Chain A
Amino acid sequence: MLAGRTPPGAADCCRRLLAAALAGGLRPLLCGLPPCWATARRAAGQWQSPGLRVPEAAEAERLMQQVQRPGVPLRRFIVCPQLARTVQRCLQGGTSPGPQPVLLECAPGPGILTRTLLNAGVRVIALESNSAFLPNLQSLENSLDGQLKVIYGDFFRLDPLVTGTVKPPAMCSDKLFETMGVAAVPWRADVPVKIFGILPQRKERNTLWRLLFALYECSSIYRYGRVELNIFISEKEYKVLTAKPGEARAYQALTVLWQVGCEIQLLHMWLPNDHLCLVRLTPQQNLFTGGLKPTNSANFVFMVKQCFAKPRSRLTDRLNSWSLDNGGKLLRELEIPKNAETRNLYPEDYRRLFEALQNSNMFTETWFHDEVLESIRNINL
């Protein structure tokens, strides 16, 4: 069903969504296959606007080999022009006419997608953490008239919790947004910035959790409004994000929290080999209109996590174990059946439950705060 969207020959081409190994040749570069060259050449030259030449896959490969160094974790890049084009279309699709928000491209690497985007007339900010890629990007930046801005930094090491000076490429989000020249907008306003990135494979889940905490606290990137994330994640995590209540393994705390927090849209799917999904996560406009506030949302996150620690337990038992003595009444009011299991509640039910608990003052008890803090620490370190 989803494979139907990709053009014929995609099976070959998709390998060009490169799991480019920077790590001491741990993984062979997959971009040098002859059939693809042809496609790449055919694709080249179609671009208008700044009319940049998009490097071919082989060129990109050479570039990447230059920056190989032992001990650096694996990173993925897009090196196939065709995939770059697909992604560019996805990124631009569905947006309303009118002035487009700026697009922050995380870890562009050899810059294939960057050029594709620029050619399509998108204003791009490239955030690159590997200094080896910087010179190329910077010369591109200089050749253009402000359409591209290159910043040295690592999106996945934004706002480290450890105090002290932040050593680049780690950086603070306020610094980043200042450099980007993007000001904070109210939550209900339109998307101020679009972000494209490929989640590092090893830290995928962790990154999702960190983004989630930032979202609910309106901190980090979400301090500037409803930042739209367009990210490649593994199919496995995608299934988790979009799971339905009762789906035994997939429906998790992460599911509930993302579904409450964001509209989740599948833009594109690469099934062969890497099983990656390009997903758009747009924060809900009405996220903070009810009882949920950035100030109390950590409690919400914590509550959901506690509930899913034992997904088959009954909700009443959970409430009781938190020293809540009138759990039964609360559930009656919410019309949640007394014997409902935590894994069978819809995300929206969790939100309602939280709001009700908020009114019952359960969260004013100090112990909950302590635990919430603890859980934040565990996710951040």
Chain B
Amino acid sequence: MSLLRLRAALLGPARLRGAGIPWSVLRNYSSASATEKARRNAICERTELLEVLKARVKQLQASNVPEVTVNKVELAPLGNDKYQDPLRKSAAPGPAEEEPAPRGRDESPARPSSWVEKLKKEMYIRQLKVERKLSIAASQLALEGQTKAKPKGKAKTKAKAKAKKSLKSPKAKVAAAWSQSHAGPQGVYARGKPRVAAVKEGAKAQRPRRVLEDKDSSQYKILQQTIQSNLECFLFLQQPEEAERFLLLYHRSPVKRRLLNVNAYNIVMRSWARKGHLQRISRLFSMLESVGLRPSLDSYAAALECMGRDQSSTKAIWRCVQQLKNDGFHVDDLFQKCLFEEDEKEKVLRAIRIVQPNYQLPPPPNPQTCKTSLLQDFYSKEKMVSYPKLDFSVQELQERFQQQLEMELDNTVTIESVESTKPLTPQAIKARKLLATLRSQWRDSILQALQRSKNSMSKLKTASGYNILYPYLCLLPDEEYVDIMLQILNTLSPQGESLAVLARELGSKVYNRYITQRKLRSRQLEKVREVYGDYIHLLAKDSQPNEYLPREYWEKLVGEAGFGPSLNLKDCSWPYMLVMRLGMHMLELLVHAVKVPRNVLNPRLEPKLIPVLYHIYSFRSSWQVGLIKPHPIFSQIVSDAAETLLTFNSSALPMLCPPVPWTSPHFGAFVLNDTKLMRLVDGAVQHQLLLEQCPLVNLHPVLDALNQLGNCAWKINQPVLDIIISIFNDKGNEKLDIPPPISEAPRPSAAPSNSSTWNKSQKHELLLCKKKTAEMHSLRMDALYKLSIANYVRDKVFWFPHNMDFRGRTYPCPPYFNHLGNDVTRAILLFAEGRPLGPKGLDWLKIHLINLTGLKKKDALQERLEYANEIMEEILDSADRPLTGRKWWMNTDEPWQALACCMEIAKASRSPDPAAYISHFPVHQDGSCNGLQHYAALGRDLIGAISVNLMPCNVPQDVYSAVAQQVEEFRKKDAEQGVKIARVLQGFISRKVVKQTVMTVVYGVTRYGGRLQMEKRLKEIDEFPEEYLWEASHYLVKQVFNGIKEMFSATRDIQNWLTESAKLIAQSGRTVEWVTPLGLPIVQPYYRSRSTVLNCSMQNLSVKNSNSSQKPDTVKQKNAFPPNFIHSLDSTHMMLTALHCLRQGLTFVSVHDCYWTHALTVDIMNQICRQQFVALHSEKILQDLSEFMLEKYCSPGRETRALWQKKLMEQLSNVPKTGEFSLKKVMDSTYFFS
């Protein structure tokens, strides 16, 4: 027995790795000397081992086998565990008896009573004690055992099988794979380390558990997330037995158990509750108790639901409710805090009513109001005005909602592309037919491959306990997976696509459909439909005015609805690595299953089936990227077929009804499609966590602003769209930014057929052509998508739901066609709502037109207007004969918007009463160097304020010219004093030279980057002597910085203060966080990324995973803080403007620092914009930031009073001084935004 125990203990490392705690995390616990010794020892072992192996191989090999083989077999065991050992896969569950919890693989789930658990725990601790005595020796032994056993098969296989089996989470697998992937000693090293760590970790009595959780909470979180998403799958699949089996795998191992939290148990409880198995639930309760976890509210909800379902005895329910109260909960909490699906809520209520027949649901919580001083007016009930109505009846909106819902239920939308008007060639007809045949064959073969793989996985499942992906391949009907894979195949460009991109796309498509299914299953959708039906009364023209904001109204309706499922799904997002792994698996299936006869285009060839997709590597200097490329035959057929149908995700199209209002970080935007309130950098979860922790009421302003932006209705400017499409379908026009078709791509001049005989210049030419073609292809496709979507909605009114990035900058969700796009896309968008031009509207249209041309930038508004009147003839000519006339519009900065504006001016000026003309045209107002505007306001820099138009002036000021002037002054002085380079630069300093650097100063450009910019500009000047480039650019960047410092004296100080603070914070190991004046919490998601390697049979995919280490990336944290902070301010300013425009009944949208409204309301918008800027900067922004950070990073409660902390405190308290600019002046500044 003791021997057995020892062996079990020695197998520790495998078990530990299985638990998915990466060794690097645990490194902190292990003693360096021990590991070092172990490592050296391991190397010796390996050399010995090699000798043995060689001899053995020689024995085994037949003498005539080539030497290579011998060599190979010798080497195989060195590092690559992955391919060499098929035995491992089929390994019988041999090591069961060696496990501390022996019943892991029993067919019927074990029924551990708590005393068994306790006993087991005790035994384990005793084992640990023995182990600790053995300490280093033991770890060496273990290594020896492992290494030696490896080639022999049996013992090693067992250990391996065990490791394999216990790799529950992809994370775990990855962690293990990562350590394996290192050849040579590291592999052993990795194995050796956690061994020692395990002992110490295991003996947790001495070590507070907090250390692990704190140290790597994000890593920990991902592992937990993986476990939970797996359990959720089983819940969704209604397989409580599987869920429990999976849970037990973790529960039984004292190390792995750490990854379980009460939520994991709750999910299993819920799966049983749905089936009404109360006994199982009570057993889970005792399991919770045995591991020292407290049941949460959700646990009780599951228990009560189950009781409600199987009509338990009053006594049982009473006991349960009693226990709930003993744990400090209240019955009302159940209904206020828990999230329910399907009929869970009703069942819980039923159970409660068995013991308290008169129980009434608690009333919905009183809506809270945001207290930000900036929005006191906005939220005050006295001044409440009714929400602006759309020009639709309830009935119409209802129909539109139905359309949108159907679109989203289909997951994808297939639309005709704008190219469909072209006539079909016979060749195309033939190719389409062929493609259709092939596709149906592919569909079959993919389906077969999928089913085969699932089948083998399910077998594997019974053999070794668990397969990570299997449940994820069961969530949808097989055909849907096939659909997804075929979609990917259809969109693959001839140049191929990187493996990682394809994998992510496949994985996330499955995820999105699963979410849709869940929403259907939980009957969440039904409820959304119901609430939305009432909600549109707020917006429809034929309903009573309501004094609510969309969010408030929605919340009210939800509160009134009472029963049914919650609208928020319980958190069910999949970890990034899992998405990738699933995607890779599907990609592998696709690559293997899809084949085409080789002779399909050339009948003379042999009729052999060859794969359509192949996997190759592309080399980029020092690294390589795996690509999936379609076979040229396939690309040829696709291009011949010239198919004109485009398939998009339903979330890629604008919405056909007003978006669902954002009411929480989890809910809003599309009806079904899962949308994040904050766009996440791949894999980063920190901002999501931060949003969840933040009291919801603090997010109200941000949510309301997003709702306001999303509620703007749009329509298509059809005449402009038609002109664009006609050019697009003709030959395109690069000057007008309409990408030409590939047929217009340059062709190499008469290349000989055999590429090998080409000379250098021919090859070069060919390469250039190919590069150009590839570029053209992507530009063309992008334009095709945009125009086709625009064309699809040409007769409709549509909406762009909005979300934001981590700094609060807002973006429309649909990716291709939206108002953030280029000139072409902006030109085809109009407000769906029309407003009369009013007395000044036509003038604004004209000024807007001149702004779009890029002319007259330095002139006053009046002069721009006069200029417009002067060239009225050109404007009308452009409007009337855009393609046949004098084409004035084509030579402007933004030709398409200019053309659209010309047309609007023509229509308005020809109408009998221009002031009454109903215009849908958006007029833009741009901030002038918005970043510097915020800096100047923060620092109250007088000269700076003047140069970025915070001060009223007769003509707009140009900051770039001002800086250029300042630099020229410096230069003159230096030249007089005989500085050589200053003399060389005479006559070369201009606005153009300094512009880019000045612009980017706001975004934290360094001297280094600034010098490069300067060098580029100087190179463009032909007369500039080349030998002085370096010196001159160096000099110039210094002077530009000095110039800015002179003009914006406080700006540089603020920037430095921000940078330095961020540096110290990051150096102290924390990420920089702050809260915007509107209450939005922000965290900079820059971490030292570590690549984790996904072991897939096709290719090992290195996935950057910023979460696996929590350590901040100091350089990024530091450099990005000033620009991010400024961006958070400009987004705040925009949101404030949006909200106040709403109160004034204005239509308002924004493209960051460019604000759009109707011509009628430009003046009001400008006023609000200025007011809100003043209001925003009247807050003590830097003071508040300093206080927030002091509280956050230097609060006195923290135990360590290290030197850095003192330094940080000093730094943070030392807020830069400000200048004497009077902020109120902004109110009168015409050119602040213009």
Chain A interface: which of B761-769, B808-816, B1150-1158? B761-769
* A289 in the interface (beta carbon within 8 A): no
Q: Which chain B residue has the least Cβ–Cβ distance from A365?
A: B632
Contact A322 B614 (CB under 8 A): yes
Give the CA-CA distance A296 to B616 in the complex, in Å. 19
B514 CB → nearest A CB, Å? 30
Would A337 and B763 be within 8 Å (CB), given that A312-B83, A323-B631 are in contact?
no
A294, A365, A376: which has the most chain B beta carbons within 10 Å? A365
* B79 in the interface (beta carbon within 8 A): yes
Q: Which chain B residue has the least Cβ–Cβ distance from A324?
A: B610
* B618 in the interface (beta carbon within 8 A): yes
Interface residues of B in 122-167 (CB under 8 A from A): none
* A228 in the interface (beta carbon within 8 A): no
Give the CA-CA distance A296 to B757 in the complex, in Å. 9
Q: Which chain B residue has the least Cβ–Cβ distance from A336?
A: B68
Would A378 and B620 be within 8 Å (CB), given that A335-B66, A340-B68 are in contact?
yes
Give the CA-CA distance A313 to B609 in the complex, in Å. 24
Contact A375 B619 (CB under 8 A): yes
Contact B621 A378 (CB under 8 A): yes
Chain A interface: which of B24-32, B70-78, B941-949? B70-78
Give the CA-CA distance A159 to B629 in the complex, in Å. 32
Contact A309 B624 (CB under 8 A): yes
A295, A349, A365, A367: which has the most chain B beta carbons within 10 Å? A367
Give the CA-CA distance A322 to B66 in the complex, in Å. 26
Contact A321 B756 (CB under 8 A): no
Contacts of B616 in A (CB 8 A): 306, 321-322, 371
Contact B69 A340 (CB under 8 A): yes
Contacts of A349 in B (CB 8 A): 68
Contact A325 B68 (CB under 8 A): no
Q: Among A163, A323, A344, A375, point to the contact of B68 (Cβ < 8 A).
A: A344
* B755 in the interface (beta carbon within 8 A): yes
* B770 in the interface (beta carbon within 8 A): yes
* B615 in the interface (beta carbon within 8 A): yes
Give the CA-CA distance A280 to B202 in the complex, in Å. 58
Give the CA-CA distance A314 to B868 in the complex, in Å. 71
Contact B75 A321 (CB under 8 A): no
B1027 CB → nearest A CB, Å? 10
* A162 in the interface (beta carbon within 8 A): yes
Q: B interface, how many residues as a size bin?
A: 35 or more
* B683 in the interface (beta carbon within 8 A): no
Give the CA-CA distance A362 to B521 in the complex, in Å. 51
* B358 in the interface (beta carbon within 8 A): no
Would A310 and B757 be within 8 Å (CB), given that A248-B79, A248-B183, A325-B610 are in contact?
no
Contacts of A369 in B (CB 8 A): 755
Contact B763 A245 (CB under 8 A): no
A249, A317, A379: which has the most chain B beta carbons within 10 Å? A317
Contact B619 A305 (CB under 8 A): yes
**What 0/1 pattern do residues 612 to 645 of B give for CB contact below 8 A with A?**
0011111111001010010110000000000000
* B184 in the interface (beta carbon within 8 A): yes
Q: Which chain B residue has the least Cβ–Cβ distance from A378?
A: B619
Q: Which chain A residue has the least Cβ–Cβ distance from B622?
A: A205
* A177 in the interface (beta carbon within 8 A): no
* A152 in the interface (beta carbon within 8 A): no
Interface residues of A in 316-340 (CB under 8 A from B): 317, 320-323, 325, 335-337, 339-340
Contact B764 A246 (CB under 8 A): no
Interface residues of B in 741-776 (CB under 8 A from A): 754-757, 760-761, 763-767, 770
* B1180 in the interface (beta carbon within 8 A): no
Contact A321 B1098 (CB under 8 A): yes
**What 0/1 pattern do residues 151 to 181 of A give for CB contact below 8 A with B?**
0000000010111000000000000000000
Q: Among A162, A298, A309, point to the contact of B617 (Cβ < 8 A).
A: A309
B940 CB → nearest A CB, Å? 42
Give the CA-CA distance A298 to B591 in the complex, in Å. 26
A310 CB → nearest B CB, Å? 6
Contact B75 A246 (CB under 8 A): yes
* B80 in the interface (beta carbon within 8 A): yes
Contacts of B72 in A (CB 8 A): 246, 337, 339-341, 344
* A346 in the interface (beta carbon within 8 A): yes
Contact A248 B78 (CB under 8 A): yes
A348 CB → nearest B CB, Å? 10
Contact B757 A295 (CB under 8 A): yes
* A377 in the interface (beta carbon within 8 A): yes
A169 CB → nearest B CB, Å? 15
Give the CA-CA distance A305 to B83 in the complex, in Å. 21
B151 CB → nearest A CB, Å? 15
* A71 in the interface (beta carbon within 8 A): yes
Contact A323 B614 (CB under 8 A): yes
Contacts of B69 in A (CB 8 A): 337, 340
Give the CA-CA distance A317 to B617 in the complex, in Å. 13
Contacts of A159 in B (CB 8 A): 760
B852 CB → nearest A CB, Å? 38
Give the CA-CA distance A320 to B608 in the complex, in Å. 14
* A190 in the interface (beta carbon within 8 A): no
Contacts of B626 in A (CB 8 A): 309
**What 0/1 pattern do residues 1093 to 1125 of B give for CB contact below 8 A with A?**
000011110000000000000000000000000
Contacts of B83 in A (CB 8 A): 312-314, 339, 341
Give the CA-CA distance A246 to B76 in the complex, in Å. 9
* B545 in the interface (beta carbon within 8 A): no
Q: Among B621, B765, B770, B1100, point to the contact of A310 (Cβ < 8 A).
A: B1100
A345 CB → nearest B CB, Å? 6
Contact B183 A305 (CB under 8 A): no
* B392 in the interface (beta carbon within 8 A): no
Contact A298 B71 (CB under 8 A): no
Q: Among A294, A295, A314, A367, point to the contact of B614 (Cβ < 8 A).
A: A367
Give the CA-CA distance A336 to B79 in the complex, in Å. 21
* A374 in the interface (beta carbon within 8 A): yes
Interface residues of A in 209-251 (CB under 8 A from B): 219, 245-246, 248-249
Q: Which chain B residue has the least Cβ–Cβ distance from A298?
A: B756
Give the CA-CA distance A320 to B613 in the complex, in Å. 11
* B1204 in the interface (beta carbon within 8 A): no
Contacts of B761 in A (CB 8 A): 163
Contacts of A375 in B (CB 8 A): 618-619
Q: Among A246, A295, A341, A378, point to the contact of B756 (Cβ < 8 A).
A: A295
Q: Among B66, B80, B184, B770, point to the contact of A312 (Cβ < 8 A).
A: B80
* A146 in the interface (beta carbon within 8 A): no
* B93 in the interface (beta carbon within 8 A): no
* A70 in the interface (beta carbon within 8 A): yes
Q: Which chain A residue has the least Cβ–Cβ distance from B764?
A: A163
B763 CB → nearest A CB, Å? 7
* B834 in the interface (beta carbon within 8 A): no
Contact B71 A344 (CB under 8 A): yes
B1016 CB → nearest A CB, Å? 16
Interface residues of A in 112-143 (CB under 8 A from B): none
Give the CA-CA distance A310 to B755 in the complex, in Å. 28
* B359 in the interface (beta carbon within 8 A): no
* A366 in the interface (beta carbon within 8 A): yes
* A183 in the interface (beta carbon within 8 A): no
Contacts of A339 in B (CB 8 A): 72, 83
Contact B617 A373 (CB under 8 A): no
Give the CA-CA distance A293 to B621 in the complex, in Å. 26
B616 CB → nearest A CB, Å? 6
User: Can you list 24 A-B contacts (CB < 8 A)?
Assistant: A162-B764, A163-B761, A219-B760, A249-B183, A295-B756, A295-B757, A296-B756, A298-B756, A305-B619, A309-B619, A309-B624, A312-B79, A312-B80, A323-B610, A341-B83, A344-B68, A344-B75, A349-B68, A365-B631, A367-B631, A373-B755, A373-B763, A377-B767, A378-B621
Which residues from chain B sit less than 8 Å from chain A, CB to CB?
Answer: 65-66, 68-69, 71-72, 74-76, 78-80, 82-83, 183-184, 591, 608-611, 614-621, 624, 626, 629, 631-632, 754-757, 760-761, 763-767, 770, 1030, 1097-1100
| 4 more A-B residue pairs beyond the given contacts A245-B68, A365-B631, with a C-beta to C-beta distance below 8 A | A295-B754, A309-B619, A373-B770, A379-B619
A-B residue pairs, 4 tightest by C-beta: A295-B756, A309-B617, A321-B615, A344-B72
